[in-house]
Amino acid sequence: MFQLAYTSKANQAFLLDELTELSNDAGMRNRKIDVTGMLVHHDGTFFQFLEGNELVIKALYKRISQDSRHTNCKIIYTQESNTRMFSNWFTRYLSFEYIREITGEELSEDFEELLAGKIENKDEVMRIVNKLTSIVSSHHSD
């Protein structure tokens, strides 16, 4: 299992509908190639976490990073792992407002720094993503 997370800048304003469509489409494609993860958009920045077969993830990232809807793709995390963090999410979209609502001030501030590109330490990225998934999982059973 290979995990990759990146941040990027949106090239256009995204309406919620468009984000939902983008992540639904991504989720359907990712399901076919056994890729799981999540996508967050806030203030013109994307954060995406992808996990699956290493070659598949690398090829997917290459395709995503060439998408004209965003630029400045920057990998902030890569890791080999024995387990999936997002075992049943084929690219789930989370809004920052939702994250703030369920995680509270401290984690949402961490997440804001992550989106702003201020956190590049791998362990820190993992700590934040880990905490986020455990809180989100306890709120949702899908």
Does residue 42 bind ligand FMN (CB under 6 A)? Answer: no
> To the nearest whole angstrom, how small is the minimum distance from the Cβ of residue 23 to ligand FMN?
7
Does residue 63 bind ligand FMN (CB under 6 A)? Answer: yes
Ranges of beta strands (E only) in 11-137 are 36-42, 45-52, 70-80, 92-95
Does residue 67 bind ligand FMN (CB under 6 A)? Answer: yes
Nearer to ligand FMN, 63 or 122 (CB): 63
Does residue 70 bind ligand FMN (CB under 6 A)? Answer: yes
Q: How far apart are the first and last CA of the chain?
A: 22
- The candidate with the shortest Cα–Cα distance to 110, out of 101, 120, 98, 119, is 119
Nearer to ligand FMN, 27 or 103 (CB): 27
Pairs from 122-129 (Cβ < 8 Å, separation ≥ 24): 122/77, 122/79, 125/5, 125/76, 125/77, 126/77, 126/79, 129/5, 129/49, 129/77, 129/85
Does residue 46 bind ligand FMN (CB under 6 A)? Answer: yes
> To the nearest whole angstrom, how small is the minimum distance from the Cβ of residue 104 to ligand FMN?
26
List residues near ligand FMN by CB under 6 A: 22, 26, 29-30, 39, 46, 48, 60, 63-64, 67, 69-70, 91
